[in-house]
Amino acid sequence: MSLIVITGPTASGKTARAVDVAKAMDGEIISADSRQIYRGMDLGTGKDLEEYGDVPYHLIDICPAGYKYNLYEYLRDEKQARTDIESRGRQPILCGGTGLYVESVVNGLSLPEVPSNPSLRESLKGKTLDELTGILASMKTLHNVTDVDSCQRAIRAIEIATYYRENPDMAVAATPHPLKGAVIVGVAIDRDSRRQRITARLKARLEAGMLDEIRNLIDSGVKPEDLIYYGLEYKYITRYVTGEISRDEMESGLETAIHQFAKRQMTWFRGMERRGHRINWLPYDMGRDEFVNAVKELMESNRKNAMS
């Protein structure tokens, strides 16, 4: 059964679209969001679980907050979920805006588990993010900006690149085998509408108790530095609740960071298209039935092309 992918930038309404398609096509949703896997991180990650209704979903709330989930684990868990869905004759729908996850899945990438390298980590301790980025850039082409959005992530990326360099047979094992027949649908939203929705959504989530969510995580024993690792809401609000920045600095800095994040997502999707992936962009404000029918038509066209 061919995989349906519904992706797009933050605040484009991907989840609601995936739910509509799932209801119409007897589907189940697999999350492709790198932060929604964590329990207790709800408002900050925009889980919006009420949107799913009775549609089954996978890879949400599977790890404790503070855990450092990685791409190897995601690909392992996504494949297991997709195999389970297909075994029951249902339609798998991958939904999310983490470009690395989406592209790795449609590429059919399979990674070996890379062990930690304590001596390498020790040698990199204290280096700036720019220094770490330079080291990583000397080892691989930096397609993935999330590899270098924090020192912790950059060190892990260097660790992985070093492992592949020292174990070339494992690098060969990680060669992509693209999925046949995957249909990628992007939810297109113009820049001004996206910015308005981001601003409104941030305000609503703050009013709904996002600060308390993060205070509760810290009170439960999650280290502030671990929350900061997750970026965006968790970075800025943790810095605020720990007294590092003011409320105004938190709100303005966070809103700017989310807008920048959405731009980086679109950069990733454009890169996917340059790398040979066809993303079928449909308007975010398209009617529900019209959107679902468009996805069905894409699936049917894809099926006919595969048979010809």
Quote the crossing angle between the two packed helices 232-241 and 247-274, to the nearest 10°: 160
Longest dimension (CA), the chain: 63
Q: Taking the CB of residue 47, how many other CB atoms lie within 10 A of it?
A: 20
Tokens found for residue 261: 């994040």
Contact 303, 3 (CB under 8 A): no
Q: Residue 120 and residue 127: Cα distance in Å, rounded?
A: 12
Q: Is the pLDDT of residue 147 over 60?
A: no
- Which stretches does DSSP call E strand in the chain? 4-7, 27-31, 38-39, 57-58, 63-64, 91-95, 183-188, 279-283
137: confidence class by pLDDT, cuts 50, 70, 90? confident
pLDDT in the model for residue 164: 81
Q: Is the pLDDT of residue 176 over 90?
A: no
Q: Is the pLDDT of residue 142 over 70?
A: no
pTM for the model stands at 0.85
| Residue (of 100, 32, 35) closest to 258 by Cα position | 35
Tokens found for residue 267: 């950069």
The length of the chain, given as a count of residues? 308
Q: Residue 266 and residue 272: Cα distance in Å, rounded?
A: 10
pLDDT (mean) for 13-20: 97
pLDDT in the model for residue 226: 92
Q: Is the pLDDT of residue 9 over 70?
A: yes
| Cβ-Cβ contacts under 8 Å for 206 (sequence gap 6 or more) | 251
pLDDT (mean) for 11-34: 97
pLDDT in the model for residue 111: 80
Q: Is the pLDDT of residue 96 over 60?
A: yes
pLDDT in the model for residue 123: 95
Given the DSSP bridges, would you call strands 183-188 and 63-64 parallel, antiparallel or unpaired? unpaired
Q: Is the pLDDT of residue 143 over 80?
A: no
pLDDT in the model for residue 139: 85
38: confidence class by pLDDT, cuts 50, 70, 90? very high
pLDDT in the model for residue 140: 76
pLDDT (mean) for 46-73: 94
pLDDT in the model for residue 184: 98
Quote the crossing angle between the two packed helices 247-274 and 191-207, to the nearest 10°: 140
Q: Residue 16 and residue 122: Cα distance in Å, rounded?
A: 45
Enumerate the domain spans of the chain. 4-110+178-206+265-307, 112-173
pLDDT (mean) for 116-139: 91
Q: What is the pLDDT of residues 179-208, one digit of tens each?
A: 989 999 999 999 999 999 999 999 999 999
Q: Is the pLDDT of residue 287 over 70?
A: yes
Q: Is 287 exposed, middle or buried (0-12, 13-18, 19+ CB in 10 A)?
A: exposed
Sign of the torsion formed by the C-alpha atoms of 290, 293, 299 and 304: negative
CATH match of 4-110+178-206+265-307 with 3.40.50.300: yes
Task: Tell me how many helices (H) and strands (E) the chain has.
Answer: 13, 8
pLDDT in the model for residue 172: 61
Mean pLDDT of the chain: 92
For residue 292, the one-letter residue type is V
The CB-based long-range contact list for 114-122 (8 Å cut-off, 24+ gap) reads 114/72, 114/159, 114/160, 114/163, 114/164, 115/163, 116/159, 117/159, 117/162, 117/163, 120/158, 120/159, 120/162, 121/155, 121/159
Q: What is the pLDDT of residues 225-239, one digit of tens each?
A: 999 989 999 999 999
More confident residue, 297 or 153: 297
